[in-house]
Amino acid sequence: MKTSKHQPIEKQYRAILWLVAIGFFMQQLDSTIINTALPQIALNLNEDPLNMHGIVVAYVLAMAVTIPISGWVTDKYGLKKTYFAAIILFSTASVACALSHSLTQLIVARVFQGIGGALLQPVGRLTLLKVMPKTQLLAALSFVSIPGLIGPLIGPSLGGVLVEWTSWHWIFLINVPIGLIGAIFTLKILPDLKEDNFQPFDYLGFILIATTMLSLSFLLEHLTESRPQMTNTLILLGFAVIAAVLYYFHAKRKPTAIFAADIFNVRSFRIGILGNFFARLGNGAIPFLLPLMLQVVLNLNPTIAGLMMIPLALGSMLIKKYITRLVDRFGYRYVLTVNTVFVGLGMMSFALLSTSTPIWWQVIHFFLFGVVNSIQFTTMNTVSIKDLTHQKAGQGNSILSVVQQLSMSMGIALASVALNTFSQMYGKIHILQSFQYTFVCLGLMTCAASFIFFRLKAKTI
């Protein structure tokens, strides 16, 4: 009888897994609780609800830019100190968000919150890579993501209740008690692992990577304007391309580059990273678009709109324990190739929503999308890092986290560009049509990513 290469989690690792799960929970709660609150925040700050993506993009982009230093900081200062500092910074920035009285103040506070979040999730995942045996890695990643999915489960509905019955400021204050608990347990149970022979920080490489990401993000942000200037578009595009090319040659020459070029020689990592980027471009915009559509177009109040996200989160949670068996049975290539198409079709199916769609059908609809979404995230994350050596784990984990956040940031910006473009074409009176076409565009883009995963080796487990 064939023995599975994936094993259940041993009891000695469970306390650490729960601690990592707290970080995942904080980050996921904050990422989802704000989406339902965006229309109310816009109303309070006298802004257009369709132009509130900057609050989300600022957080995600700050994470993407900061993540490249997470591996080096962790190696130098150790897991315990880094994770503790991340929780404290995240919690403090949450208070600053709650005290904001303008859109500019809120965006600035979200940047600092994103810096804290840039260490929470990747350092948590890095903890698993350094502590867990490889045979238990998939089960461990699935385990910590389940409590992390509680954030999306209660986040949208909690955000809706808070903004409807109190004020939007409270959606950030909820992070404070959770952060205090996480900080205490970090000091008590997290091992203070650190690398004795870490390399000097690659400042030039970091500047080039940050320039590339910021230029691309500002480019997409510029395109959301009603009349983007061609000169500014070309300048931003030029900065992004030049910085990316310079980093490529920099990484080729410098063995200690922040992201070494030879890590992409690992086939599963190379394909997993590329697939992650393109699959998440469309997927990253869904948590932003759906609550906005439910409130602005379907006229649901914030509480009901938040509750509608619960079936999606439940579907994500309930399928988790079956993903390991699914991969053992069919392999990563088959699961990811087929499931990516299902995710894309699921996005396009949101174009069918209207004021006449029965609530019971929406519940089933969102639940099924949560199922395929959960399979997608867990499998493509695991296939990206499973074949890396211990020495490359830190870099690989950081690259994966950067790609996740950058693609999410760009996905939200792309969705905003599409939504604004269709709104200008059809007018605010036909805003439902604008949302429908946006979902179709995102779904088609996601379906195309299935060709990337098809390049994985057959029956790779």
Alpha-carbon distance 342 to 379, whole Å? Answer: 14
Average pLDDT of 15-34?
77
Alpha-carbon distance 173 to 111, whole Å? Answer: 16
What percentage of the chain has pLDDT greater than the value 70?
89
Contact 401, 121 (CB under 8 A): yes
Q: Backbone phi, then psi, for 424, in 5-degree steps?
A: -70, -35
Cα dihedral angle (168, 169, 171, 173), rounded to 10 degrees?
A: -170
Q: How far is CA 26 from CA 327, 330, 371, 401, in A?
A: 28, 33, 22, 16
Kindly report the average pLDDT of the chain as a whole number. 82
Q: How far is CA 352 from CA 345, 383, 428, in A?
A: 12, 33, 19
Q: How confident is the model at residue 49 (pLDDT cuts 50, 70, 90)?
A: confident
Residue 23 confidence (pLDDT) above 80: no
Closest CA to 168 of 108, 97, 113: 97
Least confident of 39-53, 124-138, 180-194: 124-138
pLDDT at 10: 59
**Which of the pair, 250 or 141, is modelled with greater confidence?**
250
Contact 333, 458 (CB under 8 A): yes
Q: What pLDDT digit, counting tens, does each position of 340-361 carry? A: 999 999 999 999 988 888 888 9
Termini Cα distance of the chain: 16
Closest CA to 87 of 113, 68, 58, 59: 113
pLDDT at 2: 44
- Report angle CA 434, 436, 437 to the nearest 5 degrees: 70
Alpha-carbon distance 219 to 409, whole Å? Answer: 12
Closest CA to 306 of 162, 149, 151, 158: 158
Contact 33, 159 (CB under 8 A): yes
Alpha-carbon distance 128 to 457, whole Å? Answer: 25
pLDDT at 13: 66
For 26, the token pair is 């904080």
Give the CATH number of domain 13-192+258-453; options: 3.40.47.10, 3.10.450.40, 3.40.50.10880, 1.20.1250.20.
1.20.1250.20
Residue 369 confidence (pLDDT) above 80: yes
Alpha-carbon distance 240 to 360, whole Å? Answer: 46
Q: What pLDDT digit, counting tens, does each position of 52-87 carry? A: 788 888 888 888 888 888 777 877 888 888 889 988
For 398, the token pair is 């950081």
Alpha-carbon distance 35 to 403, whole Å? Answer: 21
Q: What pLDDT digit, counting tens, does each position of 254-311 carry? A: 877 878 777 888 888 888 888 898 998 888 888 888 888 888 888 888 888 888 888 8
pLDDT at 339: 93
Contact 153, 97 (CB under 8 A): no
For 447, the token pair is 């379906």
Q: What pLDDT digit, counting tens, does each position of 119-146 carry? A: 877 677 777 777 766 666 677 777 776 6
pLDDT at 197: 67
Domain with CATH 1.20.1250.20 in the chain: 13-192+258-453
Q: What pLDDT digit, counting tens, does each position of 375-393 carry? A: 998 888 888 888 887 767 7
For 50, the token pair is 């369709």
Q: Which of 89-103, 152-166, 313-327 has the highest mean pLDDT?
A: 89-103
